[in-house]
Amino acid sequence: MACPHMSGCALYPLFSQRAVLEVWKTNYCTSDFGRCARYKLATEGQPIPQTLLPNGRHLNIDQGTRK
């Protein structure tokens, strides 16, 4: 079962390399999404920082991840 938030996840557009995004999707979104930090915040009704990665770390946009 896939994460119910996949279709509107604000993290997806931040990845310029589709292959990198697919790794995150495979490891979290389409498998064990219950361990995703973004999902956990959403289910608690908490705001989700746009750069929060599923593993709880933050995406560093300044390092060229986004084009």
Q: For residues 36 and 48, what is the distance between their CA atoms, to the nearest angstrom?
A: 12
> What is the distance, to the nearest Å, from the Cα of residue 33 to the centroid of all Cα atoms in its chain?
10
Taking the C-alpha atoms of 20, 65, 41 and 57 in order, what is their torsion angle to the nearest 10 degrees? 90
Given the structure tokens 């560093």, which residue do they identify? Answer: 60
Residue 66 binned pLDDT confidence (cut-offs 50, 70, 90)? very low
Please give the average per-residue pLDDT across 18-43, as a whole number. 94
Average pLDDT over residues 39-57: 95
The pLDDT, as a whole number, for residue 62 is 65
Among 52, 48, 41, smallest CA distance to 14 is for 52
